[in-house]
């Protein structure tokens, strides 16, 4: 029996191993545990109308790629799965970029209704955050997203990623430092 793991976590690991071996039933048993957090994760990256489609694309891509998934000391199933989800969200954004630009473009009539010309829009803010996150390692990005986007505590993230809490804290605080420095550099470049 694996020390420190709950029955749920042990069964998840077993389900992942069985699914990797091609057991569709095992993958189907994993899906209910994946979908709710995945919907929340994707809900911050794609339009509300697209969430269900991108969830399905992510699940299909994960099932297809699962035989190639390798559990490594610093790569858990969740990290691997959310990387697929992040890539599918990016694919969706690329496919829909022109439509989004059309829908969010400002007409001269709209300009009069703007509250503050210097205020940052949600789209601009999302783009700025995405650019800042590119300064982080994959581990740091995953931890930051699980903390801020999914609302998990550092202890919950450590359990979810099967990592030592001290390691998660280190990556979290290093990521925050990196983001602050990147933000300062971005602000200075604008001046």
pLDDT tens-digit profile of 144-167? 888 877 777 888 888 888 888 899
What stretches of the chain show up as alpha helix (H) in DSSP?
7-20, 24-43, 51-65, 77-95, 97-104, 108-111, 122-133, 138-148, 154-161, 165-190
Identify the domain containing residue 38 by its residue range: 1-96
Task: Specify whether 20 is located in the same domain as 58.
Answer: yes
Asked if the structure places residue 104 within a domain, the reply is no
Task: Specify whether 92 is located in the same domain as 127.
Answer: no
Task: Specify whether 10 is located in the same domain as 88.
Answer: yes
**Domains contained in the chain, number:** 2
Task: Specify whether 49 is located in the same domain as 83.
Answer: yes
Task: Specify whether 58 is located in the same domain as 5.
Answer: yes
Asked if the structure places residue 50 within a domain, the reply is yes
Task: Specify whether 85 is located in the same domain as 136.
Answer: no
Task: Specify whether 62 is located in the same domain as 139.
Answer: no
Task: Specify whether 133 is located in the same domain as 54.
Answer: no
Task: Specify whether 125 is located in the same domain as 92.
Answer: no
Task: Specify whether 80 is located in the same domain as 155.
Answer: no
| Cβ neighbours around 5 below 10 Å, total | 14
pLDDT band with cut points at 50, 70 and 90 for residue 1: very low
- Residue 41 belongs to a domain with what CATH number? 1.10.1740.10
Task: Specify whether 79 is located in the same domain as 135.
Answer: no
Task: Specify whether 55 is located in the same domain as 140.
Answer: no
What pLDDT score does 139 carry? 84
d(CA 188, CA 169): 29
pLDDT tens readout for residues 31-73? 888 888 888 888 878 888 888 999 999 999 999 999 888 877 6
Asked if the structure places residue 181 within a domain, the reply is yes
């Amino acid at each position: 029996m694996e020390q420190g793991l709950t029955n749920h976590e042990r069964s998840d690991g077993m389900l992942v191993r069985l699914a990797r071996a091609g057991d569709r039933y095992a993958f189907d048993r994993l899906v209910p545990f994946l979908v709710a957090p995945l919907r929340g994760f994707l809900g911050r990256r794609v339009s509300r109308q697209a969430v269900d489609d991108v969830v399905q694309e992510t699940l299909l891509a994960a099932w297809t790629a699962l035989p190639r998934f390798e559990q490594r000391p610093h790569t858990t199933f969740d990290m691997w799965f959310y990387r697929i989800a992040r890539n599918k969200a990016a694919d969706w954004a690329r496919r829909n970029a022109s439509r989004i630009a059309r829908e969010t473009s400002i007409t001269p009539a709209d300009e009069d209704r703007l509250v503050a010309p210097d205020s940052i829009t949600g789209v601009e803010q999302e783009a700025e955050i995405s650019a800042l996150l590119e300064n982080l390692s994959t581990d740091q990005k995953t931890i930051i997203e699980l903390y801020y986007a999914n609302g998990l505590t550092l202890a919950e993230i450590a359990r979810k990623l099967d990592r030592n809490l001290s390691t998660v804290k280190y990556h979290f605080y290093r990521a925050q430092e990196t983001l602050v420095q990147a933000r300062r550099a971005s602000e200075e470049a604008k001046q």
